[in-house]
Chain A
Amino acid sequence: DTEVTQTPKHLVMGMTNKKSLKCEQHMGHRAMYWYKQKAKKPPELMFVYSYEKLSINESVPSRFSPECPNSSLLNLHLHALQPEDSALYLCASSQTGTSGTDTQYFGPGTRLTVL
């Protein structure tokens, strides 16, 4: 089973709303990732958790707040977003996250629209 699941599939929110994106994997992977993908562009790395600890934060604005409650779950809490934050948010997981040779498996993404 190489499945990473994400909910919701679509999300529309206002700039004053607070919402959360969820990601789950049951492959026993210890690393989980959040990426942001704008239309016709490659994914851009936002955060990496390795063994439930935040190991990489790519200078992401504080209106995005990641959380890793356990090794299978990854959340992205959203607050006071801007319309330019509208994008496809992709979650991925890999074995350990301690090596660039770790193969990453992606979820289907959450399509976020900020009004």
Chain B
Amino acid sequence: GEDVEQSLFLSVREGDSSVINCTYTDSSSTYLYWYKQEPGAGLQLLTYIFSNMDMKQDQRLTVLLNKKDKHLSLRIADTQTGDSAIYFCAVDSSASKIIFGSGTRLSIRP
């Protein structure tokens, strides 16, 4: 079945850019998502990209998609303390299902 992989941890200095990476196996995925989860909270949809796009930018967020390598990344520019959270990559699978990665915990150093 579909597999989505992410590194578990990322630590960046405040003000630097954060890049969170994700790889997936199902080349037929149409939508690819990034969700943010703060401690004790639900999942917040940050952004998504359609599979026929290479890049999508939304304020401080840039999503890059390399469909050939099945690689998705989320770049957060000028990382702030409020960006501390777990970031889940997710891809659509069969009808009604999305498959989540294990989540990357982003921590911010002063």
CB <8 Å contact, A56 and B97: yes
Q: How far is the CA of A101 from the CA of B26 in the complex (A)?
A: 14
Give the size range of B's interface with the partner.
20 to 34
- Collect the chain A residues with CB atoms within 8 Å of residue B93's CB: 100
Using a Cβ cutoff of 8 Å, how many contacts connect chains A and B?
65
- Collect the chain A residues with CB atoms within 8 Å of residue B29's CB: 100
Chain A count of residues within 8 A CB distance of the other chain: 30
- Collect the chain B residues with CB atoms within 8 Å of residue A43's CB: 43, 100
- Collect the chain A residues with CB atoms within 8 Å of residue B11's CB: none
A74 shortest CB reach to chain B, Å: 14
Q: How far is the CA of A79 from the CA of B64 in the complex (A)?
A: 45
Instruction: Kindly identify which residue among A31, A101, A108 contacts B42, using a CB–CB cutoff of 8 Å.
Output: A108
Instruction: Kindly identify which residue among A4, A100, A107 contacts B97, using a CB–CB cutoff of 8 Å.
Output: A100
Q: How far is the CA of A40 from the CA of B102 in the complex (A)?
A: 8
- Collect the chain A residues with CB atoms within 8 Å of residue B42's CB: 4, 6, 90, 106-109
Instruction: Kindly identify which residue among A31, A55, A92, A108 contacts B41, using a CB–CB cutoff of 8 Å.
Output: A108
